[in-house]
Amino acid sequence: MKKLLGLLFIVLIPFGAVASGGSNENLDTVHIDLSDTKSLQRGARTFVNYCLSCHGASYMRYERMAKDLKISDSLLRENLMFAADKPGELMMTTMPAEGAKQWFGVVPPDLSVTARYRRPDWIYTYLRSFYIDESSPTGWDNLVFPNVAMPNVLYRWQGGRIANFSESDGNKHFEGFEQLQPGEMTQEEFDLAIQDLTNFMVYLAEPAKLVRYRIGLWVIIFMVIFTIFAYFLYKEYWRDVR
């Protein structure tokens, strides 16, 4: 029996590593707050304007997003529905798969559940780790995802920069970024924009969390009230016994 349990433990270790991300990168920590509706709204705006042109979010409908994030129907139609005609449609990309494979060498993945697979810290660090690389087909590379096929679509916000590396023992070591052209945002503003986008992608991966949060609050209130009544009922039952 002990041998069997030991074998199961060894077999399950790789699955646990994959489920938790399984990587040892030095990732920056991002604060996720699904109760911050304004942050989710800003993240949704960035996602629709900069991500949805290449990546789909085919598990989410526009009307569901608008309802969850308290976005009015008029605002949804005017500012967030560039690739759809009806609010009930799925958030699909308009980029054809064949064209994407020809342009980028690979079809951009659907981002519906990326935050569950990659983890929020990974997304946050990845989106802030692009740098100019003349040898790359897109002209960009990424510290977290080397040789990535995706260009830096937010370069206007972040500006152009290069990464400095040193070599020792045949290995490259990252030394830091060097800013070549300023972006439209300061570093603090850009970090906040990426935090909002990451926050939205966490919501996108599991929108039912918002429902659970709302229900959970009422459950806690009920349990507090029930506990008070149960305490006084307990005292009443045992009053004569004592």
Phi, psi of 80 (to 5 degrees): -125, -5
**Does position 225 have pLDDT exceeding 80, yes or no?**
yes
pLDDT of residue 108: 87
Q: Is the whole-model pTM more than 0.75?
A: yes
Instruction: Enumerate residues 6+ apart whose C-beta is below 8 A from 161.
Output: 131, 132, 177, 178, 179, 180, 181
Rounded to an integer, what distance in angstroms lies between the CA atom of residue 140 and that of residue 202? 26
For residue 39, report the phi and psi dihedrals to the nearest 5 degrees.
Answer: -65, -45
Average pLDDT rounded to a whole number, residues 163-177: 88
pLDDT tens, residue by residue, 78-120: 999 988 889 999 999 888 777 777 777 788 899 999 999 999 9
What is the distance between the alpha carbons of residues 125 and 222, in angstroms, rounded to a whole number?
40
Among candidate residues 163, 126, 172, 118, the one with its CA nearest the CA of residue 145? 126
pLDDT tens digits for range 121-165: 999 999 999 999 999 989 999 999 999 989 999 999 999 999 999
Look at the chain and count its residues.
242
The domains of the chain, with CATH numbers, are 28-206 (1.10.760.10)
